Chain A
Amino acid sequence: MSIIEDRRETNLKKNVKVVTANEAVALAVKYAKVDVVGAYPISPQTSIMEYLTKYQETESLDLQIVRVESEHSAMAVAMGAAAVGARAFTATASQGLLYMAEMVYWVAGSRLPVVMVVTSRAMGAPWVLGNEHTDMLLPREWGWMVLAPEHNQEVFDTIIQAYKLADSTFIPVIVGLDGYILSHTTMPIELPNQELVDSFIPKNTPKPYALDTKDPSTHGNAVYQQLYQEMRWDIFRTIQEAEDLVDEINRAWAKLTGRDYGGVIEEYMLEDAEVALIVMGASSGDAKEAAKLVREKYNIKAGVMRLRSIRPFPIKRLHKIFNNYNIKAIGVIDRNMSPGLGGMIATEVKFTLYELPKRPKIQSYIGGLGGRDIKLKDFENIYLELDDIANGKKDVEICKWINLDLEAYNKFAIEV
């Protein structure tokens, strides 16, 4: 038997399918036995809805898909369904998420366990299609949990884990995946047994929030200042405390499937690392490659922290990593920006590490906006720079931009 045939045999036994991340999402929604989906097209999310409608119409999947007239309504549909105890899903990106924003915030305040995929994409003006993480990170301030898988298998697994997380905390969860880079790239994924998923995320969990004519209640009516702040506090501490839960859910899923993603942070070659990168999403693979490369090429002890969970922010884990290891300088790669300040994640990392007795030098890097590539070579150069920072040869700047091509820009820029 050839290697290829052997692999094919094992794959058949294991139920492996070669799919895009968007199809992996649709499959996960099917496996999660979602009841109601609010569907509105926007690139690069649209094919998720195409797959789901196909499963529904040609494979008689028992799923209510509402083809709504806007993203605002897509989330409203998910909210209405979740409010009576059903399992709800929607997906969006970019402008769609912005248009949906009011409902996104409302669902979080309503403590409804909705799961949403954001296939991350930059936002206009000007019109732009390429990937960056700003959109999927915005709701981290709105009371949602935000998870960021790296590849298609993890996309599938993270959606199942997201339902577990949402059902346990009554906090909605965003699974943010890199638009185009993941959403439209095919990779093999292994599908679990349906029974395994059913027992991991049972649908008969307690739903104290569910509206029912048998025990009527009113949801979302006015509160005054004596209660609103406490409601916000409850969301705050539930998300903060969920850091352990994300780890736990990851371990439980790993036990069933053998796939361990490291919980809130995937730690890569950190034990002896002196410099490290904090990254998230699909390009993390390049960061890991570069770490291996600079170890071989320059003997720089490099490592990677891949954030899987942005909310809950991995405060405990980051403290543990920097208390246990001797990392001298880190670079935080943000495919997003907080204008005039730095990368969003860098800001949060600095906030988290400031009080540590031995905190590393922290350099914020912004890049990869609007689909711009961050190449292996860029990561290599960043590691070299971090090595200089670690050895006191270079100072940390508030924020650095990767691959800023001002020569090209100035050809078009209007002098003011």
Chain B
Amino acid sequence: MATSIKSIPYEEYFLAGNGSCPGCGLTIGLRNVLKALGSEVYMVVPASCSSVVQSPFPNSSATVPLLNTPFAAAASAATGMVRALRKNGKDAVVMVWAGDGGTFDIGLATVSGAAERNEDILYICYDNEAYMNTGGHRSSATPIGTFTGTTPTGKRENKKNVPFIIAAHNVPYVATASVAYVTDLYDKILKAKSIKGFKYIQVLAPCTPGWLLPTEKSVESARLGVQTGMYHLFEIENGIFKVSPPSKAYLKKEKRKPVIEYLQIQGRFKHLKEEDIKRIEEWIDTISEEYAQLDGKRVF
């Protein structure tokens, strides 16, 4: 039974007045993730916007214990933490809250290590598709064609499929989500909380300055990402791939919104030529077709 927006708790665990930009996707995500997890959670945060957003010492927006770590250390620090807590009989959730740079790039070996050992960690990657904390620089999560500070004429390479890489480690639970679909995200967190072992959830989280996006378009772009098929929401539970309800309708080309609707509201895609957009459209067709075929099947 899916959670309705009305049943999401009023309690706040990541407080207002924090250092995030207006329309910040990561804060929308984190706020709702913590609502799903409650107060019995330890957060581990590697270098990222989240290191800044939480506010500088002596202030903190987090009402749960939070350990900041260097960039590539989060999954391992969380491992040490969860091993110590379990050894001393404590059952709290240990959650990594990391960006895409810290997950897809510099932290990937560490994430892979923790996944391979099936550590009892909930690893959440909020995916704003670039190193936004440094001022917007390409990561391997940046989609093809995207303008960033280090891809001034557009990125040449495709986005890395990290959910599938993690799923290939035979972990019990992998999912993708979008901050525009809060109840879907909320339910995925609840499910992950109930599973022992390594859980990976990747959340599309728009970055208004990084995406060159008007503040009020933040949630809209996170929704259009799903509706245009740029970002597919799915679960891989014990190796079985399942497209999530918000994405299901958009697997069919005729139901999908044209990708231009997603691209045109974001300054980072402004320079794309017609043929670039066509190529992205083709990629969406292929991947959507693939996911439709895989739906309900064992992938790992």
Report which A residues bind B (CB closer than 8 A).
Answer: 35-36, 38, 62, 64, 66-70, 72-74, 76-86, 88, 102-103, 106, 211-213, 216-224, 227
Contacts and interface: CB of A to CB of B under 8 A. Distances in A.
A36 B78 CA distance: 12
Nearest to B73: A76
A70 to B, nearest CB: 6
Contacts of A224: 56
A156 to B, nearest CB: 24
Contact of A84 (B39, B42, B73): B42
Contacts of A219: 65-68
A82 B85 CA distance: 10
**Most chain A CB atoms below 10 A, which of B67, B72, B88:** B67
Nearest to A219: B67
A77 B80 CA distance: 4
A77 B76 contact: yes
B63 A86 contact: no
B117 interface: yes
Contacts of A69: 109-110, 112-113, 116
A172 B52 CA distance: 27
B13 to A, nearest CB: 9
A80 B84 contact: yes
Interface string B44-88: 100000011011110010111111111011111111111111111
B68 A213 contact: no
B42 A220 contact: no
A80 B67 contact: yes
Contacts of A72: 72-73, 76, 110
A73 B63 contact: no
A221 B87 contact: no
Contacts, number: 155
Nearest to A211: B65
B69 A220 contact: yes
A76 B92 CA distance: 19
Interface string B81-124: 11111111000100000000000000001101100110000000
A74 B73 CA distance: 9
B41 interface: yes
B11 interface: no
B40 interface: yes
Given A64-B84, A213-B40, A76 B77 contact: yes
B76 A211 contact: no
Given A213-B41, A222-B57, A224-B56, A77 B68 contact: no
A69 B72 CA distance: 12
B83 A221 contact: no
Contact of B117 (A66, A79, A82, A84): A66
A221 B77 contact: no
B73 A103 contact: yes
Nearest to B63: A216
A73 B62 contact: no
Contacts of A77: 76-77, 79-80, 83
Contact of A76 (B40, B68, B76): B76
Contacts of A66: 76, 79-80, 83, 117
Given A36-B87, A76-B110, A223 B77 contact: no
A81 B117 contact: no
A218 B54 contact: yes
A227 B58 CA distance: 10
B81 A70 contact: no
Q: 7 nearest interchain CB pairs?
A: A80-B80, A220-B68, A69-B113, A76-B76, A86-B84, A73-B76, A77-B80
Contacts of A35: 83-84, 87-88
Contacts of A82: 80
A220 to B, nearest CB: 3
B60 A76 contact: no
A216 B62 contact: yes
Contacts of A223: 56-57
Contacts of A85: 84
A232 to B, nearest CB: 14
Given A72-B110, A73-B113, A216 B64 contact: yes
Interface in B253-293: none
A86 B65 contact: no
Contacts of B54: 218, 221
Contacts of A74: 76
